[in-house]
Amino acid sequence: MDFLLPSISVGSAGAISPLPNIVPDFAMELWRSTQSLDSAADWAKTKLLQEKASLVEAELLSGGVAGLKYLLNQQFGYPATPRRPLQPLGKDTAARLSSSKYLKDLMEVR
């Protein structure tokens, strides 16, 4: 979803992203916002949402599949350990993801 607004603005039908797995309510808010860009205020709101999504997506990608599994565990209780041959998330990366201000902000969207 890090490129959802630019993609929609040139005719894309959507996006493939790990973000909706972690913050589904925020992802739906961003999606709905991209579907009604009738005024400058709509664009400004959607651009702000897109900026937040892009910041979080960058952090998600830095943790890889193990980071995504870790966050799914934290958010919804799914198993945290990825299947082999992938390695579990390192403690430093887990701590960084857990303390991410950007991620915490989006997890609060309900």
Cα atoms in the 13 Å half-sphere on the side-chain side of 57: 18
Look up residue 4 and give its two tokens: 């959802």
Q: Is 27 helix (H, G, I), strand (E, B) or coil?
A: helix
- pLDDT tens digits along 29-55: 999 999 999 999 999 999 999 999 999
Q: Which residues of the chain have pLDDT under 70?
A: 109-110
pTM for the model: 0.84
pLDDT of residue 66: 96
**Sequence ranges of the domains in the chain:** 4-107
Spell out the SS3 assignment of 43-106.
HHHHHHHHHHHHHHHHHHHHHHHHHHHHHHHHHHCCCCCCCCCCCCCCHHHHHHHHCCHHHHHH
- Output the six-digit token pair for 80: 């945290």
What pLDDT, on the 0 to 100 scale, is given for residue 53? 94
